[in-house]
Structure 1
Amino acid sequence: MRKRKMSAWRSAAAICALLLTAAGCGSGNDDDKGGHAPDKLGKGEGKVNIIAWAGYAEDGSSDPKVDWVHPFEKKTGCQVNTKTAGTSDEMVSLMKTGQYDTVSASGDATLRLIASGDAAPVNTKLVPNYKDIFPALKQQPFNSKDGRMYGIPHGRGANLLMYRTDKVTSAPDSWRAVFDDAARYDGHVTAYDSPIYIADAALYLMRAKPSLGIKNPYALDQKQLDAAVALLKKQHQAVGEYWSDYQKEITAFKGGDSVIGTTWQVIANLTKAEKAPVKAVLPKEGATGWSDTWMVSAKAEHPNCAYKWLDWIVSPKVNAQVAEYFGEAPSNRKACAETAAPDHCAIFHAEDEKYFQRVHFWTTPIKQCLDGRKDADCTDYAQWTRAWTEVKG
C-alpha cells in the first residue's frame, strides 16, 4: 500500500460486444472474469482516463520542464485525464468504479485487481516497446497469471536499509539492526507504514529463524504471520516514526529524529544532497522491493488510447524521463541510453540482474500459498491489514 507524495522535483467480458469494433476484443482465450485482451487496435477514442502515482503522468503543471503527457496527446489525439492516487488501496477502489482505463499498480495491488476481474490481460503484441522490457520483469507472479501478462512493467526499486553514519558507528549489513537490535536505537528507528511491511519482517525471519519454514515473504501461514507480527510488535517499541511520505523521512534523517530504517534509493540520494551523513545498503538477507505495472481495466471505455499510453510510457525516451524524475530503475533496457544523467541506470542498478535477484518484489498475499505449498492455507492481504493495525496499536 505504497503512499507517495512527490515534490515538484519528483513529485471485459460484459462490455466486450461494445468494444469489438473499437478494440477488437479477443475471442475468449482469456479469463472471462477479467475480460479479454484485444486482438487488434482501432482508432483512438480521443481520451484516456488514468490512475497514477504522483510523478508518473507529468503534464508540466508541477514543473514546466517535466511533461510527457502533452507530447503524447499531440502524437495520438488521446487527451489524458489523470487521477493521482496516494495508496494502492485507493487505486484498487478507483479501478472498481469502471471509470478509469489504466492504472500504474504496484505489486501489492496487482493480484487483487486480477482476482477481482477489474484488470484485463494485455496483448503484449499490441505494445511494440514491450520487446525491449527487461526479461526479468516479464511473467512475474505479481503481473501475470496462467502465462498471460496482465500489464506492462514500468520500473522497479528496492527497499533499502539506511542509517546515519555518525549515529550508527558499526556499519550494519543485516536487517537485524532494525528488528532484533532495534532497542539500540530506541525511538529513532523508522519503518515503512503499510501492511506490506510485514514482508520485511518475514524476509528477515527466513534466515534468522529457518525453523519457521518461510520460503516466500509474501506466503505466510498463520504461524508464520504470527511470528512476523510478534517481531514487528517488538520493533514497534523502538520506532519513532512510520513513514509513507518520502519528504518526511528525509527531514527525519536530516534532523536526527531517525537514525536507521527502511528507505528507497532516491530518498537516500536526496538525503545526502541535504548534507545528512547517511548511507543505504542492501542487507545480506536481500530486501523487499516494488515493480509497478501499467494495467488495463476490464471495463475500459477507451482501450485503444489506453494501449497507446502503455506503449508511450515505456518507450525509451519517456521511460527514461519518468525513471529520472521519480527515482527508479526504468523497465525498458533502451531507456538507459536516454537518461540525462549518464550514471542513472548504474545508480539504480537498472541492468544489474544479480542485484535484483536479491529483491523480493511486492506481491499481494493470497490464500493460495505463493511458495507452492499445497498442504497449507496462507494468510491474505485482509489478514495482513488487520495484523498491521494490531502492530501499530
Structure 2
Amino acid sequence: MTRIVLAALIAVAGSAHAQDKTLRLLTWGGYAPKEVVEQFTKETGYNVEVTTSNNEEMISKLRATAGAGFDLAQPSQDRIAGPQTEFRIYKAMDLSKVQAAQFIPSMLDATKKNTTVKGKVYGLPHIWGTDGLVVNTKTSKAMDYTDLCAAENAGKVSMRLKRPTLIAFAFASGKDPFALYNNPKAYGALMDDMGKKLIECKKNVKFYWDGKDQLLAGIRSGELTTAMMWDTGGWQLNKDNADVKFVAPKSGALGWVDTFAIPAKGKNDAAAYAWINFNMRPEIAAKVASSAGNFTASKGADKLMDATLKQQFADSFPDAALQNIKWYPAVPAGIEDIEGRVLDRVKAAP
C-alpha cells in the first residue's frame, strides 16, 4: 500500500470518527445554551453544531435534503405527522433508547399520540409554551385577538403573517379551525374569511414581525400598544415595565410543544439520544428552560425554575385560562398550502 493511499485512508477514518463525535442540532434560539452544550460535551465527548431555525425553515431544510444534514431537529409537535406523511423526512423514534421516566407522563403520552404515523412515534416533547397577546395596559384594553383591529389600536399593533394568526382570528371569531382539519373545503372557506379580516385589519398594523428584537423594541418604545406574541416575550417585557402584560385571550391562548425528532438521514442517532436524555434531566432542563424562557416537559424541572417566571405564569394563566388553551393538533398534509395561499393574498393586498 502506497503512502498516499494509506494517508487517504487515515484521513477518511479520521473524518468519520470526528463525525461520530459530533451532534448536528437543528433547533430554536435559546434551546442550546452555551453552558449546557459545554457540560454535554464534557460528559459525553460529543461536540454540538447548533443551527437555529423555525418550523417552516426546518421542514424546508429537511425536505430539500430528504432528511439529511442534521442528527436531531426540534419542530413543533403539530408539524411532524403531516410532513412525515408527505415527505418522509424523519425516522421513527427508538423508544428503548429514551429514559421515559424523565418526562411528564401526560405530555409524553400526548406528544407521542400527535406524532404517530402508521403506528410509529416520530417525536418526543421538550419545550412548551403559548401564543397570545402582549398589551400595554395603559394604552390598550385588548382582551382577544380581534381587538388588534380595534380603532383604539390603529397603526399601533403587530402580528406575524403566519398560520397562527389565521387560526387565532378564527377562534376569536367563534370558530374551531382544528375541527375542520380533515375537511379541506370547509377549512379553506374559513381561512378565506379570516384572510378578509386580516386584510381589513392591515390599517392597524405598524409592521408584521419576523424577528423578536424588532417586536420587543416596538413595545418598549411605545410604538406598539398591542401585539400577538409568545408568552415569554411578554414576561420579559413585564420585568422592565409592569404596565406591559401577557394576556391569555378570551378565546384561548394557542398552545405549542417543541419536540425532539430525528431526521431520516441523520448519521449520529447515538448522539441524538444522548442529547435527549441529557436535556430531560431536571437540573439541565431547568437551565434550558431559563435560557428559552419557557417551561419544559422534564418531570421535576418546574421546581428548579426561576421564581419570577413561575409567578408571571400564574398571573397570566388563572385556572380558567389554563383550561382554555387551544393546543395545536397534528397538521394534516395540504392544510399549510391552503393557509399559504390566503397569507399571500393578505400580503399582496394594499
TM over 0.5: yes
Code of the aligned partner of 1:342: A
Cα separation, partners in 2 of 1:390 and 1:192, compared to 1, 3 Å: same
What is the aligned length? 321
Structure of higher RCO (CA pairs closer than 8 Å, 6+ residues apart): 2
Cα separation, partners in 2 of 1:132 and 1:46, compared to 1, 3 Å: same
Partners in 2 of 1:126 and 1:348 — Cα distance? 33
State which of 110, 123, 126 in structure 2 corresponds to 1:151.
Answer: 123
Aligned to 1:95: 62
Cα separation, partners in 2 of 1:318 and 1:217, compared to 1, 3 Å: farther
Partners in 2 of 1:353 and 1:277 — Cα distance? 22
Code of the aligned partner of 1:119: Y
Identity %: 22
Code of the aligned partner of 1:316: P
Partners in 1 of 2:235 and 2:70 — Cα distance? 34
Is it true that 1:74 corresponds to 2:39 in the alignment?
Answer: no
Cα separation, partners in 2 of 1:384 and 1:150, compared to 1, 3 Å: same
- Unaligned stretches of 5+ residues in structure 1: 1-43, 60-66, 368-378
Code of the aligned partner of 1:175: Y
Is it true that 1:198 corresponds to 2:170 in the alignment?
Answer: no
Is it true that 1:174 corresponds to 2:144 in the alignment?
Answer: yes
Is it true that 1:163 corresponds to 2:135 in the alignment?
Answer: yes
TM-score (norm 2): 0.82
State which of 299, 307, 310 in structure 2 corresponds to 1:342.
Answer: 307
State which of 24, 29, 46 in structure 2 corresponds to 1:54.
Answer: 29
The 5-angstrom pairing of residues 283-362 of structure 1 reads: 283-339=249-305, 341-348=306-313, 355-362=321-328
Code of the aligned partner of 1:103: A
State which of 198, 201, 215 in structure 2 corresponds to 1:232.
Answer: 198
Please, which moves more after superposition, 139-148 or 191-200?
139-148
8 Å contact kept, 2:235–2:309: no
Query: Cα RMSD between the aligned structures?
Result: 2.7
Code of the aligned partner of 2:163: P
Code of the aligned partner of 2:79: A
8 Å contact kept, 1:254–1:276: no
Code of the aligned partner of 2:117: K
Which is richer in helix?
2
Secondary structure at 2:31 match in 1: coil
Partners in 1 of 2:318 and 2:295 — Cα distance? 10
8 Å contact kept, 2:248–2:317: no
| 1:292 Cα deviation from its structure 2 partner | 0.2
Structure 1, residues 45-69: CA drift from partner, whole Å, max 9, x if none? 322211111111122xxxxxxx111
| 1:326 Cα deviation from its structure 2 partner | 1.0
Cα separation, partners in 2 of 1:270 and 1:256, compared to 1, 3 Å: same
Partners in 1 of 2:336 and 2:178 — Cα distance? 18
Secondary structure at 1:307 match in 2: helix
Code of the aligned partner of 1:54: G
Aligned to 2:104: 133
State which of 218, 222, 229 in structure 1 corresponds to 2:188.
Answer: 222
8 Å contact kept, 2:107–2:125: no
TM-score (norm 1): 0.74
Partners in 1 of 2:230 and 2:245 — Cα distance? 11
The 5-angstrom pairing of residues 263-278 of structure 1 reads: 263-275=229-241, 277-278=243-244
8 Å contact kept, 2:123–2:259: yes
- Unaligned stretches of 5+ residues in structure 2: 1-18
| 1:241 Cα deviation from its structure 2 partner | 1.4
Aligned to 1:32: none
| 1:244 Cα deviation from its structure 2 partner | 2.5
